[in-house]
Structure 1
């Protein structure tokens, strides 16, 4: 029997609506310094939705998906054989220029020429994916069977909250938006010693129930003005951001985690009137990945309950529709 030289993948085929489809693409082969992963699962991220709607940069045709959990099945360099069989999660940037000021400062996530998995280089909505060994991180057993698929979102959150440290022990912390990023941010803020409240809308009852099951305080009420030392905006919505700005106390901190995907109007004068410190973090760094893995290893965050649906790759359109509707928390695509 002749082995197939192609695989089924979710492809952003071109710029424009209705440009995401299932298609056959060539099987990848690892080159020097690269690893071939058998994809265990890949999470659907809000960024994938933005890519589909041309609200986030990409270079089609490209296989989408960057929240990848996989097993190393081949390497392109003999000295990397110790990775074989490892269960791993992956940094998203496939390549950076290594010459710009940001790369030279160790901030490769900010490289203007960065080429990321799932947007500029083929990603994880497929049965196999190739990436640099440099990108790999071993997922601890404590992450559970599929919790590691959220390792990349966790690393993005630690980039926002730990570099610099946004939460101090005893801080009253509000997280707006109970999606996957909000749930992860709430857990990290709690691990830092914050007294955390996760806020959502009445329609978010099922999502908030997951957080409550993890011991989180939740609310569907509009937060009180100036009631929180730190506000962490994860909804990616203008109303959520406006509520967060109003809820921050004078001299407090506002952290932007969610992506809006378009221009929004906000009561930004509150930054001035309250002397708020505004911070964020784009994607992840090696430092934020080390912190993320440490939080997982120590059991300070629990990602497994956030995976609320597993959809076969062949039914990707339904998985994507679920993400668009906001069903559940994290929908993952599994190649089988």
Structure 2
């Protein structure tokens, strides 16, 4: 039996000082839902944006949405076959189901969407409850916490795969060697692109990981108009500006990183070069299918991207890693 209470990282009030460690009751699964025993939850840049009130949330709420867990309770006997399965989960707790976007299958754009980690309790705790329909059983053979990167991979697939933005032979630049940049570079390479991952000199250790996975890396300013596709993953104005300048005329610019605030970039380059600008917000069932296929086929390498594991009682260290750019992916483990 699980304990009756759990330590959790809670966004309780405005500002970064409003994030705190609390003891909360362990939840139970209602019909249509499953309770996961959390194995690990990745710390995302979005979590820092929530802490800084730069991304929507409703407090108090347990943070964390990049969840790897094992099903330990279901609310309906019909779902008993899930018990014990190791799973990743979509971030949606509920959508309205009736708006134009839901009816089009674009649930990520539902104005009434409530997501775990921001509007419903998430994974920085020992247990979390999510809809059964959000679960994705993981293939055998993964490392112990590789599956924690399933959700960010699904977000990258939403940006790059439907429709495909990289064609075989495309010269591809990815700016920003954090987790999203590393995943985007791997997905672009799996699509046949000739990929270069760009970072700053301070990103040397991150770029070493990418190089060990067979990707070309650079800390130099990318040459102007040298790339068919540029994928901006840094979430910084300089990164976006460098990507816009590096795109060839008639090329494609893809925004993956979140800025979290208004920024100034040379957007006239979109006009002068007739660039196609696309993006993707969160994930959809289709992008999860893409992500699971990439994992099952071994076309992405996830384990090397997890560079730190921190117990929930030391959650602030994990957030500091994201703020400072230390490592690639830090995960929080239940105490």
User: What is the TM-score with the length of structure 1 in the denominator?
Assistant: 0.98
Q: Distance in 1 between matches of 2:285 and 2:142?
A: 19
8 Å CA contact retained: 1:238, 1:264: yes
Matching residue of 2:235: 236
- What is the rounded CA distance, in whole Å, between the counterparts of 1:117 and 1:125 in structure 2? 11
* Structure 2 counterpart of 1:146: 145
1:306-317 matched pairs, under 5 angstroms: 306-317=305-316
CA distance in 2, matches of 1:45, 1:267: 27
Task: Tell me the distance in 2 between the aligned counterparts of 1:236 and 1:206.
Answer: 19
Task: Decide whether the 8 Å contact of 1:142 with 1:296 is kept in 2.
Answer: no
Partner SS, residue 150 of structure 1: helix
Aligned-residue Cα RMSD (Å) equals: 1.0
Runs of 5+ consecutive residues of structure 2 not aligned to the other structure? none
Cα deviation, residue 5, structure 1: 2.5
Structure 1 runs of 4+ with >6 Å offset: none
Matched, 1:44 2:43: yes
Q: CA deviation at 1:16?
A: 2.5
Q: Which residue of 2 aligns with 1:73?
A: 72
Shift of the alpha carbon at 1:249?
0.3
Q: How many residues align?
A: 335
Using the size of structure 2 for normalisation, the TM-score is 0.99
Following superposition, the deviation at residue 14 of structure 1 comes to: 1.3
**1:151-166 → structure 2 map (5 Å cutoff):** 151-166=150-165
Question: How far is the alpha carbon of 1:3 from its aligned partner?
Answer: 7.6
Distance in structure 2 (CA, Å) of the matches to 1:16 and 1:198: 33
Q: In 2, Cα distance between the equivalents of 1:188 and 1:177?
A: 15
Shift of 1:140: 1.5
SS at match of 2:78: helix
Say which SS state the counterpart of residue 197 (structure 1) adopts.
Answer: strand
Alpha-carbon offset, residue 82 of structure 1? 1.0
Give the match for residue 326 of structure 1. Answer: 325
Residue in structure 2 matched with residue 202 of structure 1 by the alignment: 201
1: CA distance between counterparts of 2:266 and 2:2? 59
Partner of 1:96: 95
Give me the whole-angstrom Cα distance separating, in 2, the residues matched to 1:198 and 1:52: 28
Distance (Å, rounded) in 2 between the aligned partners of 1:143 and 1:227: 37
Q: Partners of 1:155 and 1:21 in 2: how far apart?
A: 29
Residues 289 and 54 of structure 1: CA distance in aligned 2, closer, same or farther (over 3 Å): same
For residue 301 of structure 1, report the CA deviation from its aligned partner. 0.2
Give the deviation of 1:323 after TM superposition. Answer: 1.6
Q: Match of 1:292, SS?
A: helix
Rounded to whole Å, the distance in 2 between the matches of 1:330 and 1:156 is 15
SS in 1 for 2:16: coil
Alpha-carbon separation, structure 1, partners of 2:265 and 2:163 = 24
Q: CA deviation at 1:163?
A: 1.4
* Separation in structure 1 between the aligned mates of residue 120 and residue 310 of structure 2, nearest angstrom: 23
Query: In 2, Cα distance between the equivalents of 1:215 and 1:154?
Result: 18
| 1:17 Cα deviation from its structure 2 partner | 3.2
CA distance in 1, matches of 2:151, 2:209: 20
Q: Residue 18 of structure 2 aligns with which residue?
A: 19
CA contact (8 A) 1:142 1:297 kept: no
Residue 266 of structure 2: SS of its match in structure 1?
A: coil
- Segments of 5+ residues of structure 1 without an aligned counterpart are none
Structure 1 residues 186, 4: CA separation in 2 closer, same or farther (over 3 Å shift)? closer
Relative to structure 1, the CA distance from residue 243 to residue 142 in structure 2 (aligned partners, 3 Å threshold; closer, same or farther) is farther
Report the alpha carbon displacement of residue 213 of structure 1 after superposing the two structures with TM: 0.6
Q: Does 1:214 align with 2:213?
A: yes
Deviations 1:146-176 (Å, cap 9, x if unpaired)? 1110000000000000111100000000000
User: Are 1:301 and 2:316 an aligned pair?
Assistant: no
Counterpart contact for 1:11–1:20, Cα < 8 Å: yes
Shift of 1:4: 4.6
Counterparts of 1:263 and 1:199, CA distance in 2: 23
Instruction: Give the SS at the match of 1:318.
Output: helix
